Amino acid sequence: MGDVLAGFHAVWEFESDSVLIRYERGIRTPKLFQALGERRVPLAALEGVTLTRGRRGTVALQLQPRAGADPLMEAAAGQLPEDTDPYRLVLPAERETLAEYYADELKVLLTESGPADGYLVAAPEPPLQFKAYDGKASFDGTSVRFRWSWTGASSAKWKAGDQKFAVSELTGVEWRSPEVFEGHLRLLRPESAGAAPAQADQDPAAVVFGLGYGPVHESLPFAAAVL
C-alpha cells in the first residue's frame, strides 16, 4: 500500500509485505515505545486486525500477532496494559473512516493464522542491560550475566557468586512485570524443567524487580532479546 497513518505516539507505514511502526520519542510517549524506536512487522506475523471505539473521542486500530511470531509479545505473555500495547494505534475519532479503510485493506492481505514456526519479528538488538533490585543484568548477544548488588542480593545469591549463562544453554525466559507483586526475570534451563521454581530472590538464575528497578521499558526488551 505504501501509505502512512499517524496516531498518538506512533506512525504506521503500510507496505506490500509488512507494517513499519515508528514510535515517537515525546515526553508523553510510553517509555516502552521510546525504547523500541522502530519495528517492522511482516504481514506473515499477523493474523487479524480490528478497529474499536476508544476513550475520549478516539478509535483504536489493533493488530493481532500470531502466537510465537514476536519474541517481545511472547516474553510479555499478556502482561502489558492496553496503553502500552505496541500493536495498538490510537487515533482521533475523526480519522475513523481512514482507519477503517486501512483495516479493511490489511484484512485482505493477511493470509496466515495459528502459531508461527519461529520468530518473524526482530527482537531488540544487544548489547542490553538493566539494573534490578538485587543485581545488574547484561546481555551481549551470546551470554547473560548477573552481577549481584551488595545491598539487595540474598545470601543464597552471594554464596552462588556472579552468574554467566550461555544463551545456547537456555530453554526460555520468564518475565513477570515489575508493575505486579514479585516481578522478576528468570532464565529457564533444561535442568529446571518440571521442578518447582525457587523464589526469585533465592534463585541465582533470576533477578528481582522493585520500585525503580527492572522497569518494563528496560527489562522486557532484554527478555525478548534473550529469547
Q: Give the CATH number, domain containing residue 54.
A: 2.30.29
pTM of the model: 0.94
* Residue 54: predicted pLDDT: 82
Res 192 pLDDT > 80: no
pLDDT tens digit string along 15-50? 999 999 999 998 899 999 999 999 999 999 999 999
Average pLDDT over residues 130-134: 98
Region for residue 13 given its phi and psi (left: phi exceeds 0; alpha: psi -120 to 50; beta: otherwise): beta
Do 146 and 82 lie in one domain? The reply is no
Single-letter amino acid, residue 205: A
Domain identity same for 45 and 138? no
Question: Cα(100)–Cα(139) distance, rounded to whole angstroms?
Answer: 41
Q: What is the 3-state secondary structure (H, E, C) of 12-26?
A: EEECCCEEEEEECCC
Q: List Cα–Cα distances, 188 to 94, 134, 198, in angstroms.
A: 47, 18, 12
CA atoms of 15 and 147, how far apart (whole Å): 43
What residues make up the domain containing 220?
A: 128-226
Considering the domain architecture, whether residues 132 and 69 belong to the same structural domain is answered as: no
pLDDT digits (tens, 9 = 90+) for 133-144: 999 999 999 999
- Per the domain annotation, does 165 fall within a domain? yes
* Rounded distance between C-alpha atoms, residue 179 and residue 191, angstroms: 29
With a pLDDT cut of 90, the percent of the chain lying above it is: 90
Does 12 share its domain with 59?
yes
pLDDT, tens digit, for every residue of 155-170? Answer: 999 999 999 999 999 9
Name the pLDDT band for 2 (thresholds 50, 70, 90): low
Percent of the chain with pLDDT over 70: 98
Question: Does residue 188 surpass a pLDDT of 90?
Answer: yes
How many independent structural domains does the chain possess?
2
Do residues 218 and 34 touch, judged by C-beta distance below 8 A?
A: no
Confidence band, pLDDT 50/70/90 cuts, at residue 1? low
Residue 148 lies in a domain: yes
Residue 138 and residue 76 share a domain: no
- Within this chain, do residues 146 and 86 fall inside the same structural domain, yes or no? no
Note whether residue 123 is domain-resident.
Answer: no
Place of cell 543485581: 135
Q: Is 121 a member of any domain?
A: no
Residues 103-118 as b/e (b if ≥16 CB within 10 A, e otherwise) read: beebeeebeeeeebee
Same domain, 8 and 55: yes
Domain boundary among 54, 80, 109: 109
CA 44, CA 109: separation in Å to the nearest integer? 9
What is the predicted pLDDT for the residue at 106? Answer: 95
Look at residue 195 and tell me whether its pLDDT is greater than 90.
no
- How sure is the predictor about 110, in pLDDT bands with cuts at 50, 70 and 90? very high
> Does residue 119 lie in a domain region?
no
